[in-house]
Amino acid sequence: MPLTIPTHLLPNDGRFGSGPSKVRPGQVDHLVANAHVLGTSHRKAPVKDLVRRIREGVTELLGAPDGYEVALGNGGSTAFWDVATLCLVERKAQHAAFGEFGGKFAKATSRAPFLEPSQVISAEPGSVAYLEAADDVDTYATPHNETSTGAMAPVLRPSGPEGAIVLTDATSGAGALPVDLSQTDAYYFAPQKAFAADGGLWLAVLSPAAVERAARVEASGRWVPEFLSLTTAVENSRQDQTLNTPAVATLLLLADQVEWLIAQGGLEWSTKRCATSAEILYSWAEAREWATPFVRRPEERSTVVGTIDLADEIDAGQVIAELRANGVQDVFAYRKLGRNQLRVGMFPAVEPDDVAALTACVDYLVASL
Ligand SMILES: *Cc1c(COP(=O)(O)O)cnc(C)c1O
């Protein structure tokens, strides 16, 4: 018999996933109001206008410096790792790896037969590995927010060498964490985290140096499949298109979220809202004997994906199952991390009050189990 959490304790919306994440009802309304665009050509004005709204909105929201441009394509952030391996790393990459996602990109470049073995700077899950200036690399890569562990890192360009480019996996950070894009050359993400839409696309804010790098590498004779060509993606994006057919519904959900974030007050507003949620979550955990923020250093604790270890005598799996039975979903730890842990998506679509309600639900369950 599942426990019944009293209704007054429950959040208004029980979606706390770290990706896919909560979609706001307003986005669904936008989808319905624009249903006439669904099922129409992505080469014609209605869908191209949508892509233009997204490209312009992302440029404004993230404060892209002059000359930076927004490119997009199908395949999500995972596809972008292959795009970057093929088109952006010239000879050798350095990776900061402190969780599953940073590790996966490091593996992608390390396995590429046309590259030198990558330099991987690792740190234990729950901490952060930082990029280090190195003379023999041409590309630096790090997550902005490691979704698998709930650790975040500032976006900072290492001091050299001249011409090196920086790639930032901002899949779960973009739109919710502060960033100065002049510190990076490719700030890439997918729509199913802070942008509260469906997965399947990748987007990247690219510096002129990144666009030039891709043009040079792709002209060098390296075989690049068309689907993974960054230059092809940039050429299509400049025409507000994707190389092949995108999911139009995802574009509508994404465009609405970008414009909603701007209307609420932009990145500053969004960053503060997520930080408020995170403060609620972490201070709650610190006030409980049986709960501990997984990330030890407070400044490395993500303000968008919070991870909370539970004491051994409490079975996180049981708490998560009871929450789910009561409509509070997806607070499970990253599957490969294997910890007795809750992981809470606190993206801008999530109400801070609902994060507070979630903590009250956990208190109730721990007292009752
Ligand atoms: C979710 C996530 C990915 C993978 O994104 P897909 O769109 O599913 O490929 C990559 N990196 C980070 C940091 C993520 O959070």
Mutational test site, ligand 1, from 21, 74, 77, 335, max ligand atoms within 8 Å of CB = 77
Contact between 297 and 151 under an 8 Å Cβ cutoff? The reply is no
CA of 201 to the centre of ligand 1 (A): 11
Contact 18, 193 (CB under 8 A): yes
- Percentage of the chain beyond pLDDT 90 is 98
pLDDT at 2: 82
Q: How confident is the model at residue 89 (pLDDT cuts 50, 70, 90)?
A: very high
pTM: 0.98
Residue type, 54: I
Ligand 1 mean position to 202 CA, how many Å? 9
CA of 275 from ligand 1 middle (Å) equals 21
**For residue range 286-341, what is the model confidence (pLDDT) as tens digits?**
999 999 999 999 999 999 999 999 999 999 999 999 999 999 999 999 989 999 99
**Which has the closest alpha carbon to 21: 144, 126, 175, 167?**
175
Whole-number Å distance, alpha carbon 77 to ligand 1 midpoint, is 5
pLDDT at 165 over 70: yes
State both tokens at 81: 């790792």
Q: Can you list the pairs that 49-55 forms with residues at least 24 positions away whose Cβ atoms lie under 8 Å?
A: 49/240, 50/248, 50/251, 50/252, 50/255, 51/237, 51/240, 51/241, 51/242, 51/246, 51/251, 52/240, 53/255, 53/258, 53/259, 54/203, 54/251, 54/254, 54/255, 54/258, 55/237, 55/240
- Does position 355 have pLDDT exceeding 90, yes or no? yes
- Minimum-distance ligand 1 atom for the alpha carbon of 146: 13
Burial class of residue 48 (count of CB atoms within 10 Å of its CB; 0-12, 13-18, 19+): middle
Choose among 198, 296, 200: nearest CA to 255.
198
| Cα(83) to centroid(ligand 1), Å | 14
Instruction: List, chain by chain if needed, residues with CB within 6 Å of any ligand 1 atom.
Output: 19, 76-78, 101, 143, 147, 169, 171-172, 190, 193, 199
pLDDT tens by residue, 104-154? 999 999 999 999 999 999 999 999 999 999 999 999 999 999 999 999 999
